[in-house]
Amino acid sequence: MLTITDASRIVIDQSTERAGDIAMADGRVVAKGAALGADAATAAGGPTTAPLREVLDASGCVVTPGLVNAHHHLMQTAFRTLPGTRGVPMARWLPTMAAAYAESGFDGELASLAASAAVAEGLLSGVTTVADHHLAWPAGSDGVAIARATAEAARALGGRLAFVRGAARDDPQEAAASAEAIVQALLPGIHGGISDDGMLQLAVGPAGVHSDPRETFELLAEVAALHGLRRRTQANEQVDVVIALEKYGRRPIELLEEWGWLASDVTLAHLCDVSPAEVARLAAAGVSATHAPGCDLPMGWGIAPVVALRAAGIAVGLGTSGGGSNDAGHLLADARLAMQVAPLVGAPLSARQAIAMATAGSAEGLGRAELGHLRVGAAADACVWDVSGVADAGVADPVAGLLWASPGRRPKHVIVAGRVVVRDYRLVSGDEKQITADLRSRVGR
């Protein structure tokens, strides 16, 4: 059992906060309260005299659920700040990134190195679950090896991974066959796409209607239906709308509906350019959304109308997107950005709403009801944020201060499935410097 004690504030969910302790056992939250003591052991199924195995002192700290990064491209961590990728149109950005991928000889080894760096960066900034929308599948590459290497890198560091077998101009038949092979290799015999311990999830997702034809969407949907996988794609960035109009004479949302991709198992990332009528259509279909301001703003795609999406009843999560567009995997910083830019597209977003997007909102888009909150029975994923330092001096509301103060904030401790994976700001199961050196050695940067 692990008990976090004496927290100044524990954010249970968007509507519930309290001070005190929270106890975890067998990978789940088992009790919470001002002073748990023997009650925690009883809740865990043990005798009232059972000793606590581990205690984390959280005095002067705020405890939140673990952050859930709903949209990332982990492999792009190996390709950050490349010349010719900043302040350029998508028509130049894509071939520049593609050339870098080709030059690197992207394979399972590089997938492992990039994923290790990205997952480590995420854990060190409070991300306990990350969805990796993997879109780079070089001709002749071993898709299973890439997926397995990514999954093993995340597991070695203690992070949860949702691996999305994406497609970007891939042959539709090959993409579907690869998705099927990945399921059979990584989660054989499991319907629903989630490992028994909840540490690995599989999903499918074309890059978008701007990139992939109807056949790709339909064939990947067949794989998803066969295995009970979630579906994810990108929609309604400005470039997506322009290309869809040029190519099909229709907007992306209309195409997705016609192609069977407006449904409750689908999450759409970006949604920067959506009309009120399209928002209503998404809400009626039960689609969830992912906001990625740290990507959308520098790429010039606009700002998703997050408040309007939420008001329509759409679950909205938060993602960083990849290193090719957002050179950081710091989800809390992007939650801060989301909060800051929201008034530019209609209405303010509170700090608690932004945190809820980065936790429960993202988890809902993954179909993971056990993630993103700290109610009894939830997955034991949590972050302990020290708010006693000068960065929080004068802060009246320590939860709001997590976002408004100190944009580069890191958690002191991070717990995943009841196991401490970051302790005193350092990885428990990895060497940050070695991970960085290994990736630099491979890519020459």
* CATH number of domain containing 400: 2.30.40.10
What pLDDT digit, counting tens, does each position of 76-90 carry? 999 999 999 988 888
Q: What is the pLDDT of residue 102?
A: 86
Q: Using 50, 70 and 90 to split pLDDT, how confident is the model at 49?
A: very low
Residue 167 lies in a domain: yes
Task: Provide mean pLDDT across the span 47-51.
Answer: 44
Domain that residue 228 falls in = 67-365
286 and 190, same structural domain?
A: yes
Q: pLDDT at residue 103 above 90? A: no
308 and 258, same structural domain?
A: yes
Q: Using 50, 70 and 90 to split pLDDT, how confident is the model at 141?
A: confident
- Average pLDDT of the chain, as a whole number: 94
Residue 434 lies in a domain: no
55 and 87, same structural domain?
A: no
Q: What is the pLDDT of residue 44?
A: 45
Q: pLDDT at residue 9 above 60? A: yes
Q: pLDDT at residue 445 above 90? A: no
Residue 269: strand pairing partners: 234, 290
Which residue in 128, 104, 116, 110 sits closest to 152, CA to CA? Answer: 116
Q: What is the pLDDT of residue 430?
A: 96
How many folded domains does the chain comprise? 2
**DSSP-derived pairing of the beta strands 382-386 and 413-416:** antiparallel
165 and 121, same structural domain?
A: yes
Of 313, 332, 365, which closes a domain? 365
**131 exposed, middle or buried (CB, 10 Å; 0-12, 13-18, 19+)?**
buried
Distance in angstroms between the alpha carbons of the first and the last residue of the chain: 42
216 and 183, same structural domain?
A: yes
Q: Do 219 and 173 form a contact (C-beta atoms < 8 A)? A: yes
Q: pLDDT at residue 155 above 70? A: yes
Residue 443 lies in a domain: no
Residue 234: its H or E element: strand 230-235
Task: Provide mean pLDDT across the span 232-253.
Answer: 95
288 and 164, same structural domain?
A: yes
| Calpha distance 137→216 (Å, rounded) | 14
Q: Using 50, 70 and 90 to split pLDDT, how confident is the model at 45?
A: very low
Q: Using 50, 70 and 90 to split pLDDT, how confident is the model at 38?
A: very low
389 and 326, same structural domain?
A: no
Q: pLDDT at residue 225 above 50? A: yes
Of 315, 330, 365, which closes a domain? 365
Which residue in 45, 53, 120 sits closest to 416, CA to CA? Answer: 120
User: What CATH number is associated with residue 299?
Assistant: 3.20.20.140
DSSP 288: E
What pLDDT digit, counting tens, does each position of 383-414 carry? 999 999 999 999 999 999 999 999 999 999 99
321 and 242, same structural domain?
A: yes
Q: pLDDT at residue 40 above 60? A: no
Of 365, 385, 401, which closes a domain? 365
| Calpha distance 225→220 (Å, rounded) | 9
- Percent of the chain beyond pLDDT 70? 96
195 and 290, same structural domain?
A: yes
59 and 162, same structural domain?
A: no
Q: pLDDT at residue 183 above 90? A: yes
Q: What is the pLDDT of residue 334?
A: 97
Q: What is the pLDDT of residue 238?
A: 86
Residue 371 lies in a domain: no
Q: pLDDT at residue 210 above 80? A: yes
Q: Do 357 and 13 form a contact (C-beta atoms < 8 A)? A: no
Q: What is the pLDDT of residue 219?
A: 98
Residue 86 lies in a domain: yes
386 and 349, same structural domain?
A: no
Q: pLDDT at residue 121 above 90? A: yes
| Calpha distance 264→218 (Å, rounded) | 16
Which stretches within 228-341 are classed as H helix?
A: 238-248, 252-258, 276-285, 293-299, 306-311, 331-341
Q: What is the pLDDT of residue 105?
A: 86
Q: Do 266 and 203 form a contact (C-beta atoms < 8 A)? A: no
Q: pLDDT at residue 41 above 60? A: no
Which stretches within 228-292 are classed as H helix?
A: 238-248, 252-258, 276-285
Q: pLDDT at residue 48 above 70? A: no
Q: What is the pLDDT of residue 46?
A: 46
Q: Which residue has the tokens 């990625």?
A: 292
Residue 390 lies in a domain: yes
Residue 250 lies in a domain: yes
Q: pLDDT at residue 47 above 50? A: no
Residue 321 lies in a domain: yes
**270 exposed, middle or buried (CB, 10 Å; 0-12, 13-18, 19+)?**
buried
CB atoms within 10 A of CB 443: 16
Q: pLDDT at residue 52 above 90? A: no
With b for 16 or more beta-carbon neighbours within 10 A and e for fewer, the 295-311 pattern comes to: bbbebebbbbbbbbbbe
Q: Do 123 and 422 form a contact (C-beta atoms < 8 A)? A: yes
274 and 421, same structural domain?
A: no
